[in-house]
Structure 1
């Protein structure tokens, strides 16, 4: 694909954009990093408004963007800081619900309307009164946005139902590592990782994600009861941190489940490469990073048939209903006993991954939207 460029043949000013990120989960933060690097390389001036810790983790400044510290809060001080950062922007692009709402507040009341692009990377997860509040925020955001980009068809449909004037499917790549890995023989690395995790001589099942209710780890622990009858007993390893850690650990100990919680890790690629299966038991997922990394790594995936997962993986994974521990347990048992099926899923996964957008395609699509929404900026 020929890169789209913001340079004008008639000597116009470069496009000035602001990317707004809240706390940012890993997927949205990595996406903003990809956009920052790609847009700067194409001559766009980029300012990233995000907390200090996001810039430390994702190095937006190292990608050539200006970084402005804006806390996650929607208090007047944070909104004022964001308003000042957006003062001279030709276009503002917000990522995630809370960052988008904060941006709507910051842009309100301006005499000149600044185009606002909003990307929904995932659905906000909440119950009860909080869920109602989030729906109110969603309506406010989509009605103010010039364009809403959804990372899955389900999110695009949700934006349209909520009142978006223009909602489109976003091209979002799985970003590669920013730092090159040390050269290593994967056949030597795999047994080292399995030994560290305690999975020598037994299957290793890998799950990754924050320890929160919507991740479905309670169902995963229910399924793990059935795997205690296998010989050898598979080990389930969950990488992630969150508010349910104490509750999950108590269940693991009380029921003697073959499950380990190993906390937040920065070597997920190595962990997945060492696994026999990847597990994704969530209540809802958009463009799951775990699913993408598993298919890239040719690791067979068992996932719930929810949200954007079917669209993302096609027929390259075993899909089960959410909340059905028996279906999850049975799918894992079948795969562990069927090497031919695992090999087939590994091959299908690699082919499916090859159809996903590249980082260049991601940047090109976003820049084409920007060009559509902005007018030429002649030099004074």
Structure 2
């Protein structure tokens, strides 16, 4: 795996104006923000940038000076993929660099451009996720990753486990992607104190999770850990575990929370996440896999005490600022209880979090990586 940026990485590229094609499929949250930031930063460096993505990704998007166009790449293989490949092949002939985001977009771009050869547009692929689910989902993800590894000039990945996989599959160059925390929009409105307080109404110990309500986020673990915490000895502060986010699992979660009387409150989608992070006693990530979790970065910047499952790229993202545990309910509950029941431990966790937050990457670090990797000249024949 290639090392990160060196001391001189912020030197401007040597004045070449390139034609860059940014491509992505279905993307939301941090992935969408990252794609838009790449297009915006490259355009700000006066390259000719075209961003191709599904309409929902482009809706209301700020791509800076980049041009945009709709390209329908869905989350699963479809008959429309042939037309996508044909379009990317045609546009790729006029591009100097194609930068694709995600396994689906990366593999389609790789098929469109063909193998690594002189005269072909350079292909850079950023892999944002590890497919989690059934055997077929995992197998398809492995096949897409293999196509990318065999044809891309450079593979950027969001976690060390993805880097190991890319190298094992034969990727020519691999390094960790720089994924800075995107700014959250608050629409210029200050959060109401009453709204923050109501998130934990009835609880003096405040636990918070910010996540999409989807299987990858380990919501079963969350409920089991909450049940264990609810059985803490008498005399401990009553606990409420607030969960900010929406998703397909909401209905099932509501049923289980109600049936078991768990101290978990589903807040739905919130626009005041920064204020919630600052008000929480402990912020918890229960995910089964993460790349560079944006919420962990936000919690570190807020100086919140963080407990997180040690999966994917979470440890690298946390930079020593979080308590990392195995993805087991007992481990999660034990780590949260240890902080809530010991003011000194809680204060120490907050200090470590704030120190780690000060070391997180920013958009200038992303600009450096784009200049080195996306805008870099093609390596010579000795590669």
**Distance in structure 1 (CA, Å) of the matches to 2:200 and 2:290:** 29
Deviation at 1:297, TM superposition (A): 0.6
**Distance in structure 2 (CA, Å) of the matches to 1:87 and 1:261:** 49
**Distance in structure 2 (CA, Å) of the matches to 1:194 and 1:277:** 15
Once the two structures are superposed, what CA deviation does each residue of 1:5-50 show, in whole Å capped at 9, x if it has no partner? 3463xxx5x2110111111132221112222222222111111111
More divergent stretch after superposition (167-176 vs 332-341): 167-176
When the two chains are superposed, the root-mean-square deviation of aligned CA atoms in Å is 2.4
Deviation at 1:370, TM superposition (A): 2.8
Q: Secondary structure at the match of 1:373?
A: coil
**Distance in structure 2 (CA, Å) of the matches to 1:157 and 1:345:** 31
* TM-score, with structure 1 as normaliser: 0.88
Once the two structures are superposed, what CA deviation does each residue of 1:251-305 show, in whole Å capped at 9, x if it has no partner? 1111011112233334322222222111111112111111111111111111112
More divergent stretch after superposition (21-30 vs 93-102): 21-30
**Residue correspondences, number:** 363
The 8 Å contact of residues 18 and 89 in structure 1, kept in 2 or not, is answered as yes
1:36–1:371 Cα change, 3 Å: closer
Deviation at 1:341, TM superposition (A): 1.6
* TM-score, with structure 2 as normaliser: 0.87
Cross-structure match for 2:377: 373
Residue 283 of structure 2 corresponds to residue 281 of structure 1? no
Deviation at 1:203, TM superposition (A): 2.1
Alignment partner of 2:108 out of 94, 102, 107: 102
Alignment partner of 1:254 out of 249, 253, 259: 259
The 8 Å contact of residues 90 and 114 in structure 1, kept in 2 or not, is answered as yes
Cross-structure match for 1:71: 72
**Distance in structure 2 (CA, Å) of the matches to 1:229 and 1:33:** 45
**Distance in structure 2 (CA, Å) of the matches to 1:267 and 1:57:** 20
Q: Secondary structure at the match of 1:168?
A: strand
Q: Secondary structure at the match of 1:302?
A: strand
The 8 Å contact of residues 107 and 147 in structure 2, kept in 1 or not, is answered as yes
Q: What pairs with 1:1-380 in structure 2 (closer than 5 Å)?
A: 3-6=10-13, 8=15, 14-60=17-63, 63-73=64-74, 75=80, 76-108=82-114, 112-177=119-184, 182=188, 184=190, 189=191, 191-199=193-201, 202-230=204-232, 231-322=236-327, 324-374=328-378
**Distance in structure 1 (CA, Å) of the matches to 2:358 and 2:41:** 20
Deviation at 1:339, TM superposition (A): 1.9
**Distance in structure 1 (CA, Å) of the matches to 2:203 and 2:138:** 45
Deviation at 1:249, TM superposition (A): 1.6
Deviation at 1:183, TM superposition (A): 7.3
Unaligned runs of 5+ in 2: 1-7
Unaligned runs of 5+ in 1: 376-380
Deviation at 1:4, TM superposition (A): 4.1
1:160–1:25 Cα change, 3 Å: farther
Cross-structure match for 1:378: none
